[in-house]
Chain A
Amino acid sequence: MTDIEFNWQQFLEYGDEKSFSVIYNCYVDNMYSYGISMGFQEEACKDAIQDVFYKIYFLRGKLQHIKNGPSYIFRSYKHRLLDLAQKEHSEDTSLSTNYQETPFLTEVSILDNLIDNEEAELLKKKVQILLDNLTSHQREAVYLRYMMELEYEDIANILNISQESVRKLIYRSLEKLREFASNDNMPTLLWIAFAFSFHL
């Protein structure tokens, strides 16, 4: 059992405030970045985060069957953000753009000094190009997978599509990337060539 699973269970069972704060501290940054990534304003993200946490605090009794805390938290959070946006949208009729049309943008960065600068820049560029070639939906899925370390099942929940669709989404994006890599003259080692070179 991971630390978070333990705390989630502890919180559900006893309403333990320490566990509650562990969960909060574990997800607050991720939730914030996720909200910003979806194109929401900073204040809206902060409001939605608070709403989600006090909601789970009070729904504790009804959440006993939810084994997967993170999945529930991110799903609630996304819904809350969409609700808030909808509300604002309906209040301000001058807004003609639909919040759902905001594309999921990705920006790659590399932390600390584990990699030397030149290498880091190269990796950054490669990943950025890969992501830029995905659809908005695919980017969101990859983001949730990589940054939030969520399982495909959770991602399906959050994106509100079936698990099968997520798999398709991912495989289609993998295919797309392969296609893109072979069409473009991006310096790359294909899997076979790569494996081969090391066998030598």
Chain B
Amino acid sequence: MDDKNRTSRNKYKILHDEEFIKWRLFRTKESEEQWNNFSAENPSLQRSIEEAITQFNSLRINRRVLSEDEKQEMYTSILRKIQKIRKRKIRKIITSSAAILLLFIASALYVWNNKNSGEFNLGDNETIIGQTLPDEEIQLISGKNIIPINQEAHIGLTQDSKALITDSTDNKREITLASQEINQLIVPFGKRTDITLSDGTHIWLNSGTQLDFPTVFTGKTREIYVYGEIFIDVAHNSKIPFIVRSKEIEIEVYGTSFNVSAYNDDNKKTVVLIDGKITIKTEGNDKIDLFPNEKIDIEEHKLLKEKVDVSEYISWTKGVLEFEQTPMSEILKKIGRYYNVRFDGSPDIALNEKSCSGKLFLSNNLDSVLTSVSVLSSTIYKRENNKIHIIKK
């Protein structure tokens, strides 16, 4: 019998041997040693053993394979998920490294004064009456161009004077901005939007807010102008301070600090600090430091500082309103801004004093939101066209 034949016959015996099979399947330390020894002691069998091992290795248990397409598809979806979360993380990193500030300026735009309440029905003592107002569009004004922006669209500025507008269906539109001009973003009541400036600073604009900003930041400071309510996450750059100006207010950001240098005592201004440190300077050159989770109200030369739960103040950026023992009048004011509804704000109505606590999801449907409010406050909600009635039970 020639060598080849013998090797092949021995291989057959080995391959079908119970102990060999167990060795290959279990690969225990002991079996490994035994077979190594056996192989060393029987040099003539080495080739047969090797062949048997090679052949045995083609054995599979529960073999299931995915197609290349399926694998690729899954991998792409993993990466997509990672991208999404990474974006959120980057925002978080900015949050922790630079200062975040909620600037709430109750300017004339915001005051729901009672002076012109004569125009509306006061109703009886038991009913609050509101009125929905006509819809307006968000506008981005750059040079002579007026660009209408959809609700829920995000605007991102690039360093080369372009604005990338992404709407809720992920449609992208690119607009070249006037490079030397100051642009305006005007958000009417009932609408909200957010924008990333050319330096990466992210700003959420609440209803009834106007923001003036340059196409690209040049010079020694980064400056923006605001009326209304914004939530701003300032991109860290210690060399170029960030300045938020408003009608009578100025907040200067050096790295992690803010300075409010001017304000007008006609308006109540509220600043809430989420992260970092800011210094607020009053007209009379008083300096006040604000630390995270602190709020300051500035009204008629009076400064009132207090610790607050910041979530209540920034929840609107996530489409939620949070209330904690908040009077009805305040809740309706916020809802009014959000949905562009005008509520009669007579302080004489006892119902206005009723307070409630809870979370309100600001859906697209005003009716469902006001129904939730009526449940929270044990009132009855009725709507006829643009007229809203909130009635005491």
Contact = CB atoms under 8 A, between A and B. Distances in A.
Contacts of A106: 61-62
B18 A114 contact: no
A147 B21 CA distance: 14
Interface string A160-188: 00000000001101100100010000101
A109 interface: yes
A194 interface: yes
19 contacts: A25-B71, A28-B66, A32-B65, A33-B63, A50-B77, A54-B81, A57-B78, A106-B61, A111-B63, A115-B55, A123-B16, A127-B59, A130-B22, A142-B25, A143-B62, A146-B24, A188-B17, A189-B13, A189-B17
Given A29-B71, A146-B27, 20 more contacts: A21-B75, A24-B75, A32-B64, A32-B66, A33-B63, A50-B74, A54-B82, A54-B85, A107-B61, A111-B60, A114-B54, A114-B55, A119-B15, A126-B18, A127-B21, A130-B22, A143-B62, A145-B27, A173-B26, A174-B28
Given A54-B85, A145-B25, A49 B59 contact: no
Interface residues of B, number: 39
A188 B13 CA distance: 10
A24 B76 CA distance: 11
Interface in B1-54: 10, 12-13, 15-19, 21-22, 24-28, 38, 42, 45, 54
A14 interface: no
A18 B322 CA distance: 44
B61 A131 contact: yes
A53 B74 CA distance: 10
Contact of A198 (B25, B42, B64): B42
Contacts of A146: 24-27, 61
Consensus secondary structure, chain B interface? helix
Which 9 residue pairs across A and B have the least CB separation, nearest first?
A: A33-B64, A111-B58, A188-B18, A37-B62, A191-B19, A115-B55, A54-B81, A53-B78, A114-B58
Nearest to A106: B61
A188 B24 CA distance: 16
Contacts of B62: 33-34, 36-37, 105-107, 143, 147
A63 interface: no
A131 B22 CA distance: 10
A134 B22 CA distance: 12
Interface string A97-140: 00000000111111110110001101110110011000000000
